[in-house]
């Protein structure tokens, strides 16, 4: 059974970078991408469009971009922490900037990890390895 | 003083006496005892008071007696008996006369002493008389001096009274000046200050009953009583033109009426329901203009003194000065408050701008890093490719790099527009929105293909805004209206206006995709994009909001997803 990762990201390229990095550095990790915060919440809540859990499974790890359309990453995080059945699920915030106030807000809302996106998209592999070490070490390819 | 007879008298007396007695005793009656004794010529010596003559005569007579007793008289009658008797007679008389001489001398001496004493007394008396005279002169002088002193004392007393009066007036002036100085700051209520002035005026002019003091100020056609002391009831408002104060204000000097019964034409205050009978007033001037008057009113006819004039003129001068200072102080305080408010507003605006810029720089950094990350990432992957990537994949990466670069360019341009909108001056002016929109729709290249789908209402209002700013707002709203559309439905944009009082609201209505409800609160925020389906930087509406607000306007929208949106801009209306 694969490790499921839900990535809420409006930057299509960043999602592609992560997908490439996962494919390159891991085995058995399924990535699902949604383009905005509203869809992320809908997916996690299993709303009508996402009710089919075989197709839209509850993720083992949730990655949230900070600046998401419709509902921001912090709003989605806050919702997750109060949602029944999701409270303890690991959530990682990804941001383009390392602004301290954002980091503190994420920690206050209960983010498990706050990561700054690398300058170059191809370096997202470092993010994948960081996530892998903490949540899916057995899925990392040996380098 | 001892009397000594001249020598010839003494010799004559001696010769006559001795001759006579000799002749009698020795010639005429040699042998008888002559009755006429020697005592008589000796007694003569009393008148002459000559001791040598007495001694000479006594001796002569003793010699003659001796000669007669022993040589002429018979022994029976003569001899020692006769000599003894005659000698005793001569001796007694001589002794008596001698004694008389002593007494006479003593009397003379006493007299002389008395005379001397009298002389001394007379001299003393004369001296006393002189002294008395001097004393009298001195007394007269003293009396004169006393009179002068009395006059001087009276003069001093008069001067003291004058000085007391002046002191009283000076004290009054000092009290008033102190009150006025205390009252210069605005913490003292102006009515309280004016009442103090009235009280001082009443005190300094004698404070008699039936007299009241008032300060009045012109307000349009009225003369309003600002303060009153000395009467509990008083008219509060007079007709300015008919007032006595208007006369002193026009003449710019103090004036008095001793009996107002002679001037029934004047509108004068009523005290306790009765028209006042006498008035004394002086003008109050500040800002070089007569603004009011300070007045004394008497319930009975009264003759105003020169002192009254002097005091009221002085009080009016000081009152004018203080009023002018207070007005200046008020203006200064108001200017200070305006300045503080302005500084506060500018500081707030500056803080808001700085905050905007900080937020802007943060978000733009955040948003610009995405295309940069994409460009760098894909470029590196292409560089690092060792033949693993398919041609299609490489093509896709190159396309993504080009797209990211284009997006980066738009972001930079929009960011420049936004930062300019934050900083640039937008002076307000009257703008004809109808003419502006017709011009834009007719000339903007990006609207060219959609021009026939944009419907402009017949009349759009003039507003108070900035034409360049309005152009920016209209342009962005129109761009959005023709961009966020459902390709399956025909494009239709309507621009119309409505007025709400002094406000004009211009609507931009479209049949586009609408705005998701989640975006309602953040649609005008920086880099907020409701959809990734449509190209955009998320700065357009933020720019509209910023520019509209900087021009004193507002922006808003109503929307129904899938049906359309109605964006509006509001500005104060302006006259065409």
Evaluate if residue B540 carries a pLDDT over 90: no
> How far is residue B63 from each of residues B32, B57, B97, B511, measured CA to CA in Å?
17, 10, 19, 206
Q: What is the ipTM of this complex?
A: 0.90
A3-8 and A29-34 strand pairing: parallel
Query: Residue B572: which H helix or E strand, with range?
Result: strand B564-572
Evaluate if residue B225 carries a pLDDT over 80: yes
B329-362 tens-digit pLDDT: 888 888 999 999 999 998 888 888 788 777 777 7
Select from B381, B400, B516 the Cβ nearest to the Cβ of A70: B516
Tell me which residue has tokens 């001589």.
B94
Evaluate if residue B157 carries a pLDDT over 80: yes
Contact A12 B532 (CB under 8 A): yes
Structure tokens at B468: 């360049």
Say how far apart CA B217 and CA A81 lie, in whole Å: 73
Q: What are phi and psi for residue A71, nearest 5 degrees?
A: -135, 125
Say how far apart CA B64 and CA B62 lie, in whole Å: 5
Q: Which residues of A touch B370 (CB under 8 A)?
A: 11, 13-14, 96
The shortest C-alpha distance from B417 to chain A (Å) reads 22
Say how far apart CA B515 and CA B497 lie, in whole Å: 22
- pTM of model > 0.80: no
B294-333 tens-digit pLDDT: 999 888 888 888 888 988 998 898 888 888 888 888 888 8
Based on DSSP, count helices (H) and strands (E) in chain B, helices before strands.
11, 15
Interface of A with B (CB under 8 A): 10-14, 16-17, 20, 35-36, 38, 66-67, 69-71, 95-97, 99, 117-124
Residue A131 in contact with residue A28, Cβ under 8 Å? Answer: no
The shortest C-alpha distance from B498 to chain A (Å) reads 31
Q: Which residues of A touch B378 (CB under 8 A)?
A: 13, 121-122
Q: Which residues of A touch B517 (CB under 8 A)?
A: none
Q: Which residues of B touch A76 (CB under 8 A)?
A: none
Q: Which residues of B touch A99 (CB under 8 A)?
A: 362
Summary mean pLDDT of chain B? 86
Contact B377 A70 (CB under 8 A): no
Query: Residue B164: which H helix or E strand, with range?
Result: helix B79-183
Evaluate if residue B228 carries a pLDDT over 90: no
B371-389 tens-digit pLDDT: 899 999 999 999 998 888 8
B407-459 tens-digit pLDDT: 889 888 888 887 787 778 889 999 999 999 988 888 887 777 887 888 888 78
> Which chain A residue is nearest to residue B382, measuring alpha carbons?
A122
> Which chain A residue is nearest to residue B366, measuring alpha carbons?
A96
| Coil, strand or helix at B573 | strand
> Which chain A residue is nearest to residue B401, measuring alpha carbons?
A13
């Amino acid at each position: 059974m694969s490790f499921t990762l839900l990535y809420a990201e409006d930057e299509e390229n960043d999602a592609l970078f992560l997908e490439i990095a996962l494919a390159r550095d891991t085995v058995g990790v399924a990535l699902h991408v949604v383009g905005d915060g509203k869809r992320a919440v809908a997916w996690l809540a299993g709303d009508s469009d996402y009710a089919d859990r075989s197709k839209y499974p509850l993720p083992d790890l949730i990655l949230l971009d900070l600046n998401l359309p419709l509902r921001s990453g912090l709003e989605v995080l806050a919702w997750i922490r109060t949602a029944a059945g999701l409270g303890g699920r690991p959530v990682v915030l990804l941001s383009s900037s390392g602004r301290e106030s954002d980091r503190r807000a994420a920690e206050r809302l209960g983010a498990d990890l706050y990561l700054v996106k690398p300058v170059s998209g191809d370096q997202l592999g470092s993010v994948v390895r960081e996530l892998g070490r903490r949540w899916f070490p057995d899925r990392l390819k040996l380098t | 003083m001892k009397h000594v007879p001249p020598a010839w008298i003494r010799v004559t007396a001696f010769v006559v006496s001795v001759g006579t007695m000799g002749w009698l005793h020795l010639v005429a009656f040699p042998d008888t005892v002559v009755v006429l004794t020697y005592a008589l010529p000796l007694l003569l010596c009393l008148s002459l008071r000559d001791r040598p003559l007495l001694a000479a005569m006594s001796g002569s007579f003793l010699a003659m007696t001796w000669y007669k007793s022993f040589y002429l008289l018979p022994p029976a009658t003569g001899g020692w008996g006769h000599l003894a008797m005659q000698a005793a007679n001569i001796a007694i008389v001589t002794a008596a006369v001698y004694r008389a001489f002593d007494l006479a001398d003593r009397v003379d001496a006493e007299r002389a002493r008395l005379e001397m004493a009298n002389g001394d007394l007379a001299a003393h008396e004369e001296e006393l008389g002189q002294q008395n005279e001097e004393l009298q002169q001195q007394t007269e002088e003293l009396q004169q001096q006393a009179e002068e002193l009395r006059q001087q004392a009276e003069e001093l007393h008069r001067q003291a009274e004058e000085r007391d009066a002046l002191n009283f007036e000076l004290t009054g002036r000092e009290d008033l000046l102190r009150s006025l100085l205390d009252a210069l700051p605005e913490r003292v209520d102006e009515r309280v200050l004016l009442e103090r002035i009235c009280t001082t005026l009443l005190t300094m002019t004698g404070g008699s009953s039936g007299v009241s003091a008032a300060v009045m100020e012109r307000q349009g056609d009225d003369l309003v009583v600002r303060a009153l002391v000395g009467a509990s009831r008083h008219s509060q408002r007079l007709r300015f033109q008919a007032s006595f104060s208007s006369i002193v204000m026009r003449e710019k000097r103090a004036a008095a009426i001793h009996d107002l019964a002679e001037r029934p034409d004047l509108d004068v205050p009523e005290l306790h329901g009765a028209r006042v009978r006498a008035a004394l007033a002086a003008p109050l001037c500040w800002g070089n203009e007569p603004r009011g008057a300070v007045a004394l009113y008497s319930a009975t006819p009264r003759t105003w003194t020169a002192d009254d004039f002097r005091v009221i003129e002085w009080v009016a001068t000081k009152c004018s000065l203080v009023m002018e200072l207070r007005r200046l102080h008020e203006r200064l305080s108001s200017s200070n408050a305006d300045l503080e408010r302005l500084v506060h507003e500018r500081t707030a605006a500056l803080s808001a701008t700085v905050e905007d810029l900080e937020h802007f720089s943060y978000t733009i950094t955040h948003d610009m890093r995405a295309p940069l990350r994409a460009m760098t990432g894909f470029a590196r992957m292409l560089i690092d490719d060792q033949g693993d990537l398919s041609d299609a994949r490489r093509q896709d990466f190159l396309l993504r790099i080009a797209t990211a670069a284009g997006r980066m360019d738009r972001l930079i341009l929009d960011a420049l527009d936004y930062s300019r909108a934050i900083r640039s001056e937008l002076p307000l002016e009257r703008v004809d929105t109808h003419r502006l929109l017709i011009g834009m729709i007719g000339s903007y290249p990006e609207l060219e293909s959609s021009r026939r789908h944009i419907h402009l209402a017949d009349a759009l209002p003039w507003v108070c805004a900035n034409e360049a700013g309005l152009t920016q707002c209209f342009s962005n709203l129109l761009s959005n209206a023709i961009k966020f559309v459902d390709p399956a439905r025909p494009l239709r944009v309507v621009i119309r206006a409505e007025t709400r009082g002094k406000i004009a609201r211009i609507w931009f209505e479209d049949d586009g995709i609408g705005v998701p409800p989640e975006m309602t609160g953040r649609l005008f925020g920086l880099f907020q994009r409701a959809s990734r389906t449509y190209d955009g930087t998320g700065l357009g509406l933020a720019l509209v909001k910023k520019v509209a607000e900087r021009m004193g306007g507002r922006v808003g929208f109503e929307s129904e997803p899938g049906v359309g949106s109605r964006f509006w801009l509001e500005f104060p209306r302006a006259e065409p």
